[in-house]
Amino acid sequence: MTTAALIATLVKIAVFFGITISLAAVSTLFERKISAWIQQRYGPNRVGPWGVLQPLADGLKFIFKEEVAPAGANRLLFRLAPAMAAAPAFMTVAVVPFTFPLILDGTRIPMAIADIDIGVLFFMAMGSLAVYGIMLGGWASNNKYSLLGGLRSSAQMISYELAMMVSVITVLTLAGSMNLTRIFEAQIPLWNIAVFPVGTIAFGIFLIAAFAETNRHPFDLAECETELVGGFHTEYSSMKFALFFLGEYSAMVMMSGLITTFFLGGPSLFGLVNGIEDPWIKVLAGLGVFLAKVCFFLFLFIWVRWTIPRFRWDQLMHLGWKLLLPLSLANLLLAGTLVATGVL
């Protein structure tokens, strides 16, 4: 690896990781603000103007809180679990293309930290690892609410992962590549969400599954305050608790980024951004468009949380196994047929 490439990679890591973390932090604020609007309250408004410094204050508070581990908890796994919950989301940042590749003097610098050919597989792998943190956190706490939350969430994530993966395979079939940059580049003429019917259905399934995978409402049975106190993180306090949350919100950001890449053409905007001549402006404009789309989905995540009631446990399983999975398989079959016959 040349020095230039190394520097480029380091810069990319700093910028993209920074963006993800900041978005995650900001979205905690927005979660509260939007919920307040929906419920006709004020929300946080004490720290800074309009409460903008609230995430910072929260962070400080978490750091200074006492760490408590319950008696009989499994120390090692109890400590490891929050990190394992957050790590997969952070690692997914590596493959998401935040904007168009930068073309400088004929060299093409892809705008994902690691522009690998198996990006989608990497995302799947990380998605399948995400379940560990919650599961182990729930188990190690030595608390029945935590354990139930952990069990529920692992069952839920395993179930919805299937439908999600199959709908991703539909996208792969349409794009003909596993490289995420290629996938969004293939959509510059037409976004996948507009490829009727296969792209649209895949989008719907992916979106629903994304809610389940991030343990968000209406699928947040892992926490389910009314039944399980706090679910898998009942026993967690201070920074470990914060890590769980950071992981959850980062996962949300990443899911939004992936939905954007898979179905909404990533940084492209009806050929407007793609046509820009100057490489730097193109990259920045692409980043802007990408982040705007991500923010839209973050808003959607929050909006849904405060609008739709929680599913019952069996309804959740029913939806995942008996509806989404068969539907996604049929959709994949249709997509394969259409692609093979040259319709798409």
Partner 1 sequence: MSAEILAFLVLATATVAGGVVTLWSRYVVHSAFGLMLSLLGVAGFYVLLGSDFLAVTQVVVYVGGVVVLYLFGVMLTPPDREERSIRRIAVAGIFAVAALVVLLKAVFGMEGRWYGVDPDRGPASGGAVIREVGNAFMDKEAYLLPFEIASVLLLVALVGAVFIARREGGRGS
* 129 lines the binding site for partner 1 (CB under 8 A): yes
User: Which of 114, 121, 133, 116 is CA-nearest to residue 16?
Assistant: 114
Count the Cβ atoms, other than its own, within 10 Å of residue 341: 8
Dig out the tokens for 117 from the structure. Answer: 């050919």
* 124 lines the binding site for partner 1 (CB under 8 A): yes
Any idea what DSSP says for residue 319? I
Max distance between CA atoms of the chain, in angstroms, equals 63
Give me the least distance between CB of 126 and partner 1, in Å please.
8
Does the CA dihedral 23-28-31-34 come out positive or negative? negative
* 147 lines the binding site for partner 1 (CB under 8 A): yes
* 10 lines the binding site for partner 1 (CB under 8 A): no
Sole binder of partner 1 in the list 69, 116, 190, 344 (CB under 8 A): 116
Sole binder of partner 1 in the list 45, 74, 142, 274 (CB under 8 A): 74
* 78 lines the binding site for partner 1 (CB under 8 A): no
Say if residue 208 is exposed, middle or buried (CB neighbours under 10 Å; 0-12, 13-18, 19+): buried
140 versus 291: smaller Cβ distance to partner 1: 140
* 9 lines the binding site for partner 1 (CB under 8 A): no
Dig out the tokens for 240 from the structure. Answer: 């470990």
131 versus 298: smaller Cβ distance to partner 1: 131
Q: In a 3-state reduction of DSSP, which class is residue 109?
A: strand
* 117 lines the binding site for partner 1 (CB under 8 A): yes
For residues 81 and 133, is the Cβ–Cβ distance under 8 A?
yes
* 142 lines the binding site for partner 1 (CB under 8 A): no
Sole binder of partner 1 in the list 177, 200, 237, 274 (CB under 8 A): 177
Tell me the per-residue interface mask from 301 to 320 with partner 1, x by CB under 8 A, - otherwise.
--------------------
Q: In a 3-state reduction of DSSP, which class is residue 107?
A: strand
Dig out the tokens for 340 from the structure. Answer: 């093979």
- What DSSP element (H or E) covers 10? helix 3-38
116 versus 229: smaller Cβ distance to partner 1: 116
* 151 lines the binding site for partner 1 (CB under 8 A): yes
Sole binder of partner 1 in the list 100, 139, 219, 249 (CB under 8 A): 139
For residues 82 and 243, is the Cβ–Cβ distance under 8 A?
yes
- Site for partner 1, rule CB under 8 A: 74, 77, 116-118, 121-122, 124-125, 127-129, 131-132, 135-136, 139, 147, 150-151, 154-155, 158, 177-179
